[in-house]
Structure 1
Amino acid sequence: MTAIDIVPVTGPALLDRFIRLPERLHKDDPHYIAPLHLERKEALTAKNPFFGHADVQFWLARKDGRDVGRISAQIDHHALELRPDGTGQFGLIAAEDDPAVIKALLDVAADWLRARDMTRMQGPLNLNINEEIGLLVDGFGTPPMLLMGHDKPYLGPRLEEQGLRKEKDVYAYLYDITKDLPAGARRLIDRPLPKGVTVRRMDFKRYDDEIKAVTSIFNDAWRDNWGFVPLTEVETDYLAKSLKPLLNPRLVRFVEQDGEAVGFIVCLPNLNEAIRDLNGKLLPLGWAKLLWRLKVAGLKTARVPLMGIRKAASQGMIGSLLPFLLIDAVRTDAAAMGFQHIELSWILENNMPMRRINESLGGVAYKTYRIYEKAL
């Protein structure tokens, strides 16, 4: 039996191999889209503020002189402050369909976590609950949207062979915004706005203040959610600067009650559509193609990665109306801009109020991502 070597990622050259490995694994998959190498190098190094409150390690698996798999292990100390339950995470897992390789990768991640007093392993999280989460287990026949994963169909069963079990599923919902809303939703949205309620676009002249409002609302809205870890101001600032080139005030909306922002929605053009054939590279001609597609040709797909309503504002008849107003405002402007489909993700499987809202607006759960767990 050929030996499998597990190599810690310790420098730029190994990190580059770590980032590029999925491209070879998915070379025959027409739906895989390689993320931009530049973006991945920033997300997987100390430039990402997650590293300021986490311990992180990456590994490559090698067999017969080739890179055949990869994995990360991480401990999010902010999560442990909220829930001191001894849970560490694994993530970024990708491998050839070889049970021995997958076992070796999971074993090294588990050993690393165990050595740091973790008693449970959870994942994949790439790298935390506020970034990419879950392994794709349904919906392989379409490309992933911006900041969403795309995995090989065999990987889920291979994880289960190694004793990992489902902890939670999350869904991605897809809207065809070229179609009108279902009649019931249209009647609800077409009613006059309640007194004191307004929906407005993001004010780029007050960019920093608007981002602070997003952070505050997000942390309040989701604080009781499964797996919640609050966004810090440093993380929000990093996210805001990273995504600013994609933000359009027509696609970022706030809902206010009596002049106070109580809810928001952020919709981003689907960058993956624009980089689909760049193989992760911006040089020599990738920049020109990317700018042309974003600024001239336009994109047809978009994704809502962030949305929230303050808990105090989410109660009662008016509170139940606010998510509809936000989604429809973005949907209407996105359609006018030439977009055809919007993904709203991710939605917890047991978040029935949000699932009902999505489905009543015509959304279809078209992808399922799974978070696994295992006692150490």
Structure 2
Amino acid sequence: MISVKEVTDKKTLKEFAYFIYDIYEGDKNFVPPIRKDYLKYLQGVDNDLNNAGPNTKFICYDGDKVVGRLLVGINEIVNDYHGFKEGYISQFECEDNYEYAKALLDAAVEYLRAHGMNKVKGPVSLPGGEDNRGFIVDNFEDQPYIMNTYNKSYYNDFFVKYGFEKYFDCYAYKDTIENANIERFEKLVPYAMKKFNFRVDNIDFSRLDSDAADIMHVIEKAMPKEWDDFAPLDAEEIRKVVKQLKPYADPELIFIARDNETNEPIGFNITLPDYNQAIKKMKGRLLPFGFIKFLYHKRKIDRIRFFVLFVVPEYQKKGVTSVMYLKTYINAIKKGYTELEGSTIWEYNKDMMNDVESFGAKINITYRIYQMDI
């Protein structure tokens, strides 16, 4: 007998969280999150899950067996900014039985209708996050880079059968470092920096609060209003993002561009080593030997993810992005990285797609986000 229940206590929270380890057991491309950290993540620790608006978690049972789950919520920050009445679905996992998926999606839609919403999108990141966005639709052969999703191929079929339609695709571009086309950038960079009077610095972990404030300043000025799925971050949200990323960050791969005369921040980018290569070896556990395995395999990481880049409008198309691309490339070579992924780039972000493609990268994975009127 199929039933759907809300997560209401520690027992059901653990059932919700640990289902992901069961359904992907033996899958060579799945990277198990660290159990302790994952439980905190699902409870809204160091993200905006609870600050953004109401949410709940549903588990689907067949008898006493857990067979599926999802998280449904409302991002009131984004809704208020854009004037929407939309809900979201995240953390969807399900065994290969459409009736399980339907029961979960029915519960999510009923929840959102009860809260006055008229549309649902998903799967998306938890509010304030840049991770686990969309369902892979085309490449199930590669291990995902850090903070990117992995899913069963039939999830797409379940969503379409239920009535969802494509909202947008997000792309992961991949290239080998040595194949990157940098000659044009090497010629352009000195000219652009001199003509437009700016510099590009590495982030300074000793003054992280100040640099985080500069990043917030850039986002406030650079994020287009027409990006319906985002709202500018406030100081507390930036603090949470920085706290999430810092354990994985390499300051030599994070840059902030500044105007030389005013010292005003005009752009930034974040590139992260692909810690999934080391986390996978831990099999979701720190103890008894997980952390030792992490430290050993951390030294063997050879992939990086170009994560995010923003430039304020008045400095766009003036070489700022080219300087950050080139500096990332130079430091990646120096540190022994051999592969790079630029992700996830929304299909409407044509400028970023053009920039990445001009560097020689090609689309390797497509992540699809769906929508449905309710």
What is the TM-score when the length of structure 2 is the normalising length?
Answer: 0.93
Give CA deviations for 1:24-70 in whole Å, capped at 9, x if unaligned. 22224211111112222222114234112211100111114211101
Write the distance in 2 (CA, Å) between the matches of 1:97 and 1:327. 42
Q: Which amino acid is the alignment partner of residue 14 of structure 2?
A: D
Shift of 1:229: 1.8
Range with greater deviation from structure 2 (198-207 or 160-169) = 198-207
- Residue of structure 2 equivalent to 1:93: 92
Shift of 1:13: 2.3
Write the distance in 2 (CA, Å) between the matches of 1:46 and 1:171. 26
The alignment partner of 1:158 has SS state of: helix
Q: Which amino acid is the alignment partner of residue 149 of structure 2?
A: G
Shift of 1:230: 1.9
Shift of 1:191: 4.6
Residue 349 of structure 2 is aligned with which of 348, 351, 374? 351
Q: Which amino acid is the alignment partner of residue 288 of structure 1?
A: I
**TM-aligned CA distance change 1:151 to 1:181, over 3 Å:** same
1:278 aligns with 2:282: yes
Shift of 1:236: 1.4
**TM-aligned CA distance change 1:203 to 1:265, over 3 Å:** same
| Superposition RMSD in Å | 1.8
Q: Which amino acid is the alignment partner of residue 15 of structure 2?
A: R
1:126 aligns with 2:130: no
Q: Number of aligned pairs?
A: 368
Residue 240 of structure 1 is aligned with which of 231, 239, 242? 242
Tell whether the 8 Å contact from 2:47 to 2:127 is kept in structure 1 after alignment.
no
Shift of 1:190: 6.3
Q: Which amino acid is the alignment partner of residue 312 of structure 2?
A: R
The alignment partner of 1:34 has SS state of: coil
Give CA deviations for 1:112-143 in whole Å, capped at 9, x if unaligned. 00000011111111313643321111221101
Identity over the aligned pairs, expressed in percent? Answer: 25
The alignment partner of 2:100 has SS state of: helix
Write the distance in 1 (CA, Å) between the matches of 2:9 and 2:88. 22
- Residue of structure 1 equivalent to 2:364: 366
Residue 303 of structure 2 is aligned with which of 301, 304, 310? 301
The aligned runs of 1:165-176 (5 Å cut-off) are: 165-176=165-176
- Residue of structure 2 equivalent to 1:140: 140
- Structure 1 unpaired stretches of 5+: none
The alignment partner of 1:275 has SS state of: helix
Give CA deviations for 1:163-217 in whole Å, capped at 9, x if unaligned. 0000111111123113342544454346563242212111222111001111221
Range with greater deviation from structure 2 (337-346 or 354-363) = 337-346
- Residue of structure 2 equivalent to 1:53: 52
- Structure 2 unpaired stretches of 5+: none
Give CA deviations for 1:150-171 in whole Å, capped at 9, x if unaligned. 0111110111000000011111
The alignment partner of 2:199 has SS state of: strand
- Residue of structure 2 equivalent to 1:202: 203
Write the distance in 1 (CA, Å) between the matches of 2:257 and 2:305. 19
**TM-aligned CA distance change 1:359 to 1:336, over 3 Å:** same
Write the distance in 2 (CA, Å) between the matches of 1:129 and 1:168. 19
Tell whether the 8 Å contact from 2:94 to 2:101 is kept in structure 1 after alignment.
yes
Shift of 1:218: 2.1
Range with greater deviation from structure 2 (32-41 or 219-228) = 219-228
The alignment partner of 1:193 has SS state of: helix
Give CA deviations for 1:205-251 in whole Å, capped at 9, x if unaligned. 21110011112212322232241222221121122123222222211
1:117 aligns with 2:121: no
Write the distance in 2 (CA, Å) between the matches of 1:325 and 1:64. 58
- Residue of structure 1 equivalent to 2:33: 35
Tell whether the 8 Å contact from 1:49 to 1:234 is kept in structure 2 after alignment.
no
Q: Which amino acid is the alignment partner of residue 213 of structure 1?
A: D
1:178 aligns with 2:178: yes
Write the distance in 2 (CA, Å) between the matches of 1:339 and 1:158. 38
Tell whether the 8 Å contact from 1:72 to 1:91 is kept in structure 2 after alignment.
yes
Range with greater deviation from structure 2 (146-155 or 196-205) = 196-205
What is the TM-score when the length of structure 1 is the normalising length?
Answer: 0.93
**TM-aligned CA distance change 1:49 to 1:242, over 3 Å:** closer
Range with greater deviation from structure 2 (75-84 or 186-195) = 186-195
1:265 aligns with 2:269: yes
1:82 aligns with 2:81: yes
Tell whether the 8 Å contact from 1:137 to 1:153 is kept in structure 2 after alignment.
yes
Write the distance in 1 (CA, Å) between the matches of 2:190 and 2:82. 43
Range with greater deviation from structure 2 (103-112 or 215-224) = 215-224
- Residue of structure 2 equivalent to 1:311: 313
- Residue of structure 1 equivalent to 2:230: 228
